[in-house]
Each structure stands twice: as C-alpha cells, then as structure tokens.
Amino acid sequence: MAASLSHASYSATFTSSASKTTVSLPSRFSPSFNVSTFSPFTVKPLNSTFNPHAQRAITTIMHATSAPSSIPSDTSTKTFHGLCYVVGDNIDTDQIIPAEYLTLVPSNPAEYEKLGSYALIGLPSSYATRFIEPNESKTKYTIVIGGANFGCGSSREHAPVALGAAGAKAVVAESYARIFFRNSVATGEVYPLESEVRICEECRTGDVVTIELGESRLINHTTGKEYKLKPIGDAGPVIEAGGIFAYARKTGMIPS
Amino acid sequence: MASSLVSPYPTSSFIRNKKDLGFSAFPCTSQIAIQKCKKQVSKKIVSVMAPQQSERKPATTGSVKTGMTMTEKILARASEKPQLSPGDNVWVNVDILMTHDVCGPGSIGIFKKEFGENAKVWDREKVVIIPDHYIFTTDERANRNVDILRDFCMEQNIKYFYDIKDLGNFKANPDYKGVCHVALAQEGHCRPGEVLLGTDSHTCTAGAFGQFATGIGNTDAGFVLGAGKLLLKVPPTLRFVMDGEMPPYLLAKDLILQIIGEISVAGATYKSMEFVGTTVESLNMEERMTLCNMVVEAGGKNGVVPADSTTFKYLEDKTSLPYEPVYSDAHASFLSEYRFDISKLEPLVAKPHSPDNRALARECKDVKIDRVYIGSCTGGKTEDFLAAAKVFLASGKKVKVPTFLVPATQKVWLDLYTLPVPGSGGKTCSQIFEEAGCDTPASPSCGACLGGPKDTYARMNEPKVCVSTTNRNFPGRMGHKEGQIYLASPYTAAASAVTGYVTDPREFLQ
C-alpha cells in the first residue's frame, strides 16, 4: 500500500508504523460488525528488489512522515518523487492487467507481487518503452500520467493493485472511471490524482517529477513546468491510512 | 448517422413539465436536419441541475420533499433516509452481494483478514456465489479459485453457491449455472427496488429489473461481506427516452451502441442511466438486460428500467420474496434527457478499439472478418441465440467463418436444444446452427469475452478480425493485443458470419 512509505525503494530502515497505530476511540459506527480481534497492520511488503537505475536518476527529496503517533499522518508533507510513465486516454483495465492474469489473488502475498510484475503489460506495442522491463518485476516509474477516463472497463481491483504492487505511488490523470477510482481509494494502493489540464500531452516517459500532495502540485523537473492538481480531498486520509478498513479502524468506525 | 434523431436537451429542476416549454416531439440538432423546427435546441450537453444543496432543512411546517429519480429513491429507501440528492454519500443496506471465481477469492481474503478468520458473513442468504469466468480450463490457479469459493461456502453455509466440480462435463453439475449476471436473473435474485452489488463491472445488468445494481471491487465486497452495507455516493440520472416501434432488424444491442456512441465511454461516468419510453416497454427482460449491461461501457454507475408487467411476469416463477418497485417522481430532476426515434435507427457496430467507436454496419461491409463469437452476458442469452438463429434461417446459407457459440448458462444451453425457433417449422436453435455450419454450442461460461487462460475455448490467440456480441473491444480484450473486435447485435453477428464480412442484417431480415 502506498500509505506510509514515501519511497518504497529507499525505505529499508523505514518502519511502516507511522499511520497504523491502533486508536481506541469510541465506536461511532453503530451497525454491528462481526469483528474478532485481528492485527490492525496491513503492511505492504517493502520493495526489496531495488532498482539501481532509479537511484542514480533521482535526487532524493525525502519527507519523513511523522513519528508514530495517534494522529493521522498529515498529507500536507507528503511527496512523491521519481520518473513518470505517460499513457494516453481510456487506458482500460485490460491494458492495466490483462484478464489472463486474474487468476492471481491479490490478498495472497506471493500472488500480489506477481500481479505487480504484469502491470500495464497489456499496453499495445506502440508503447515502445515498457512500464516494467522484460526481466524485472518492479517498475522504475513512481508516477503514471494518464489522459481521460483512466481505468475504464472492468471492476477488477487487480488493476490498482497491480500498479501499486509494481511500485507506482500515484496516478495523475485528467479523469477516472469510477470503479477504478473507488478501488484505488479502498485499497490505498495508489493515489488517484486529477490534473486540471492534459498533463499527458506535456510530459514524456522518463521525465523526473515531484508531486506535493499538500500543495496539490506536480513539478516536472525535466521540462521545468508546474501543474496544479485537484486536491485529493477526503480520499487522501483513507489512502494514507492504507485503505478503507485501516481508515475505519483508525477513526474508530470499526473497533480495533 | 443521418437516420438517427438524437437530441439532448437540458432539463432542470425548474422545468417540471416539458409541455410548458413547447418542445416538439422530435427536437432537431444542428447536425441532423431532418425537420427544421422553430425552436433550436442546443446540442451541447448542459448539466442543468439545481445547485448542489446541502441537506434540506425541514420547513417549520414540516419537511418538504422534492421529487426523486428511481435511483435516488432506491438508495433513499436502502439508506433509510426520506430524501436524497445526487452527491450525497450514504450508507446503503445491501440486498444481494454477488461474486465469482475471479474476484471471489480476493474478496474472501480481505473479509477474513479484516473481520477475522472466524468471522461470519452478514447474511448467508444474501451472498450469491457464481463461478463463471475461468471454468473450463486446465489452469491450476483458475481451478483452485473455484475450490476456494467452495471451501468458503461450506464454512459459511452460503445458501446460493452454483458449484461446479466436473469440468469435463458441465451437465454433470446440477448446481452449476454459468454467467453470473444471467444466472442472477434466471434464479430470481433480481428484484425491483432492491440494491444488488457484485464484484463485476456488468453487475449493472440487473438494473433491467428496476433495481440499483452496480459493480464494486474486492475491498468493497470484503466490507459488504462483513457489514452488509456500503458507503455509496448518490449519482445524478441521465434519462434516455426511446419511442417508436422496434424495427425487425434492430435489437437492444443496437440501442445501447447508439447511446454509447452518442455520449462516449465517459459520457455517463458517475451517473445513473434511466431507460424509458414505448420502445423500452416493448422489450422483453433479456433485451432490457442487454441495454443495462453496457451502461458501464459509457462509464455509467448503474442503469435502470422501470418495472412493469413484463418484469412481474418474468419474476412470477422465479422468486417468492416480496418486493416493492419504485418509480421516478414526475417532478424528479434529471441531469440531461436524450430522445430517440427508434424507427430511424440502423444496425450498428462498435469498431476496434472502443465501445464508443460507433459505425453503421452497412458502412463496414468491406471489412473482411475471420470469426464470429456469439456469447457472454451481453449477447449469449436465450433471446440472443433465437435472434441469431432467425438470421441463419432467413439466409439458408452456411457460415463462411468459424462461428463460436457460447451459451451464458445451463438453462440457455438447454433452450438452444429444446425451444422451437418461430417460423422454422419446429426446428431448434441448435439444429439451425448445425445446418449453418456453426461450431457446436460450448460449455456455458464467460468464455472468451475477456480472453482468459490460454486454453479458453474461442480465445483469440492470433491477431484476427472478430464480430462479437460481447461488451468490450479494447486492445487485447479477447486475447491477442492486435485482435480487431467489432461489437454487434446477434442479428449483425449472424449476418456477418454468413457473408464473411461485417454485414447489416437487413441483407437477410427484410
């Protein structure tokens, strides 16, 4: 999950506890859940297959998330930094994760990783630069930049999961199909950010970009241009927490 | 598209009665000049909605209710609120949650992780589990996924699990149904006024029964499994009024391709699509299902067709649970309204690689094809096969290309072998298909609509040109990335099979 790791690739020493503390607040949520005791941590496996190319190309701007505390992490200091991968309009779920890979079950950790290795493999061959190199299982691109109606097609949650498992942190698109957007938030796998203009026409794959979540801003260091993004709003804390369940527990909606 | 008459005209909450505005029955647009009317209606889709209101405060004399659309009413009832407006986020009680072999295991995994290994589903009679996607394959993971469903159903004592164990002979499995959306309807799980969620984008198909039905992901489904409710945002409604007698060469598939071509693959994003009018009323349930099925291809959240005697008759022998239909208020607000004179429409296709890449079938007659696929929740129901049989019967010829037939469910398969085709002198669909040289109807499942494991029957493993009665034609949809898929009605698909080119069914049906 994208939640507490600003840079999965640099986070060998980074613990994931920042936003995962148990909060004992009175339950504000009245319907009865059949909730047994369970671990409140839903930890995304750390990215251990670190891509050396990414390291050399990126000058790090690391913003440490706040120390473990009982307050939700503040998204205003959150940034993503890395290379971007640019795609066009109407990138449907079959292109993000072709149907033949849907036998992989995302809640199974080994299969989760495998899903990541197939992210965006369905893009036509007109995309000469692939999202993941043929012999790799993780992507070197932190951010995916898309056009209109990103994620259209199927309701398969495997789509945002594959992107997140591959190592992407955020998608910046002109607009989203609703189920993909909803799944991204529910799983906390990637931030589905919206641009105000067609950034996909002004950025190229391999450009170095920074996203400042709190400022709702994207900076393309390669072209020197800056873009306003639509604020992530209420979806932000949910993704930050690691998805709807983690968020519901953190805010006391589900007793921990 | 000179022959269609489409006019989006704005409606707002302040326009209560369209007659007041003096709109003629068929307003014209700048693009289509069939009749010049005095009133020029802007073709631009104008979302004229009352400004987003926060919760209406009751007046001192009591709360005033504004009119609600069908979708708003269903969600209001399901969230136990007297009044809802588009944009409201509400907790909705779920009547039915459906899942299948592709998304079920993931949803179950999340449910167990979040609610506990020993947690129980919120209601063992409201969870319907239907293996249908990757069934007849040797892929071990696919087979394992059906086993995972079975283990869960046994552990939870799930009432409705349409199991399959013998993959070599689908008929040996008395519980197995096939394609989930068709099975839901046939087994009486779709009821007017209810809320049905499913881990599949085409869950919107059930809107044909006048209910709120939409697709959700594994995490949302895991949540519903434990909680029995979900946070949903109330969508505004686009209204599609279709009037006129359905010509004998058109099917619901043509109607929905017309609409998607009109508003684009994102034209209904986050919106509800309501289908009304005399044409819609004349459609049988399976045709209405086809209409609602592809709502998601326009980005729609859900589709609805008001329940009527056709609906009630269909449900008579299928469900004994009580239901209460809802209908849009006369004063409800719609985001936009589109009107169609169906008698002016022609058979359509959606060309590669998008469902909104609309074209007249007759204008694609030079497109040579390699195969035809008739199947899926969109085009593999009994009515769809009856339609295809009608064309084969009328042509009297053999198909020129491999023609794959994949009935959606066991019941559909049985219908192919038992129902007499009108006008054939008592022949069944299967006989007509055999005489036409089609492939033998295959084991019922989703089949190659979405490609699937490599050994899936009729999967497109090489770049071919296919006319298909399915719902999506994005690159790689049926398997091969360079495959060219033309989406079409069963009439058009059958006609194309006979000629070996994309063919307007009027070649055989007039």
Nearest to B116 among A35, A106, A152 (CB): A35
Nearest to A103 among B142, B474, B476 (CB): B142
A52 vs A168: which has the higher pLDDT? A168
- Maximum distance among all Cα pairs of chain B, rounded to whole angstroms: 74
Please give the Cα distance from B188 to B317 (Å, whole number).
8
Show residues of chain B in contact with A154, CB under 8 Å: 200-201, 215, 450
Asked if the model's pLDDT at residue A68 lies above 80, the reply is no
- CA B233 to chain A, closest CA, distance in angstroms equals 11
Asked if the model's pLDDT at residue A13 lies above 90, the reply is no
Please give the Cα distance from A115 to A155 (Å, whole number).
16
Q: How many CB atoms lie within 10 A of CB B398?
A: 13
The closest of B130, B145, B135 to B170, measured between CA atoms, is: B135
Show residues of chain B in contact with A33, CB under 8 Å: 115, 226-227
Nearest to A31 among B227, B296, B476 (CB): B227
Please give the Cα distance from B196 to B98 (Å, whole number).
8
* SS3 label, residue B435: helix
pLDDT at B13 (0 to 100): 35
Interface contact B510, partner A, CB < 8 A: no
Residue A246: closest C-alpha in chain B:
B114
DSSP class of residue A111?
H
Please give the Cα distance from B152 to B146 (Å, whole number).
10
CB crowding B278-287: b at 16 or more within 10 Å, else e: ebbbebebbb
Residue B220: closest C-alpha in chain A:
A186
Contact yes or no for A155 and B133 at CB 8 A: no
Extract long-range pairs of B142-148: CB within 8 Å, 24+ residues apart: B142/A103, B142/B101, B142/B453, B143/B167, B144/A103, B145/A103, B145/A105, B145/B101, B145/B102, B145/B104, B145/B105, B146/B101, B148/A105, B148/B104, B148/B105, B148/B108
pLDDT at A255 (0 to 100): 65
pLDDT at B64 (0 to 100): 55
What is the pTM for the complete model shown?
0.80
Virtual torsion, Cα B75, B80, B82, B86, nearest 10 deg: -30
Residue B9 phi, psi (nearest 5): -130, 145
Supply the Cα-derived Rg of chain B in whole angstroms: 23
Contact yes or no for A42 and B113 at CB 8 A: yes
pLDDT at B43 (0 to 100): 43
- CA B49 to chain A, closest CA, distance in angstroms equals 20
Contact yes or no for B139 and A103 at CB 8 A: yes
pLDDT at B17 (0 to 100): 30
List all residues of chain B from 296 to 335 with a beta carbon under 8 Å from chain A.
296, 299, 301
Please give the Cα distance from B305 to B311 (Å, whole number).
10
Please give the Cα distance from B278 to B246 (Å, whole number).
9
Please give the Cα distance from B332 to B65 (Å, whole number).
11
Q: How far apart are the first and last CA of chain A?
A: 20
Please give the Cα distance from B101 to B163 (Å, whole number).
10
Asked if the model's pLDDT at residue A136 lies above 60, the reply is yes
- C-alpha angle A184/B197/B157, rounded to 5°? 110
* SS3 label, residue A154: coil
Please give the Cα distance from B120 to B225 (Å, whole number).
8
Interface test with B, best of A100, A163, A245 (most B CBs within 10 A): A100
Strands B6-10 and A217-220: unpaired
The closest of B188, B186, B214 to B200, measured between CA atoms, is: B214
Nearest to B115 among A34, A155, A177 (CB): A34
Which parts of chain A fold into alpha helices (H)? 52-57, 93-96, 109-117, 158-166, 178-187, 235-241, 244-250
The per-residue DSSP string of B34-50 comes to SS--SSPPP-S-----P
- CA B167 to chain A, closest CA, distance in angstroms equals 17
ipTM of the complex: 0.74
Show residues of chain A in contact with B216, CB under 8 Å: 155, 179, 182
Strands A79-86 and A141-145: parallel
- CA A7 to chain B, closest CA, distance in angstroms equals 24
Residue B243 phi, psi (nearest 5): -120, 155
Show residues of chain B in contact with A152, CB under 8 Å: 265-266, 299
The predicted-structure confidence for B269-300, as pLDDT tens digits, reads as follows: 999 999 999 999 999 999 999 999 999 999 99
* SS3 label, residue B3: coil
Asked if the model's pLDDT at residue A1 lies above 50, the reply is no
The closest of A250, A17, A112 to A4, measured between CA atoms, is: A17
CB crowding B409-439: b at 16 or more within 10 Å, else e: bbbbbebbeebebeebeebbbbbbbeebbbb
- CA A176 to chain B, closest CA, distance in angstroms equals 8
pLDDT at B41 (0 to 100): 40
Please give the Cα distance from B347 to B28 (Å, whole number).
21
Please give the Cα distance from A31 to B447 (Å, whole number).
40
**Which residue bears the tokens 């996909």?**
A200
Please give the Cα distance from B223 to B230 (Å, whole number).
7
* SS3 label, residue A33: coil
* Bridge partners of residue A149, in order along the sequence: none
Asked if the model's pLDDT at residue A211 lies above 80, the reply is yes
List all residues of chain B from 111 to 150 with a beta carbon under 8 Å from chain A.
113-120, 122, 133-134, 139, 141-142, 144-145, 148
Which residues are CB-neighbours of B275 under 8 A, at least 6 positions away? Answer: B240, B242, B288, B291, B292, B303, B304, B305
The predicted-structure confidence for B77-124, as pLDDT tens digits, reads as follows: 999 999 999 988 888 999 999 999 999 999 999 999 999 999 999 999
Interface contact B217, partner A, CB < 8 A: yes
Please give the Cα distance from B270 to B130 (Å, whole number).
27
Torsion sign (Cα): B387, B392, B395, B396: negative
pLDDT along chain B (510 residues), means of 10: 39 32 33 36 39 45 72 97 90 96 96 94 98 96 97 98 97 97 98 98 98 96 94 94 96 98 95 98 98 97 98 97 96 95 96 97 98 98 98 97 98 98 96 98 96 95 97 95 97 98 96
Q: Are the beta carbons of A191 and A213 closer than 8 angstroms?
A: yes
Residue A241 phi, psi (nearest 5): -70, -20
Asked if the model's pLDDT at residue A178 lies above 80, the reply is yes
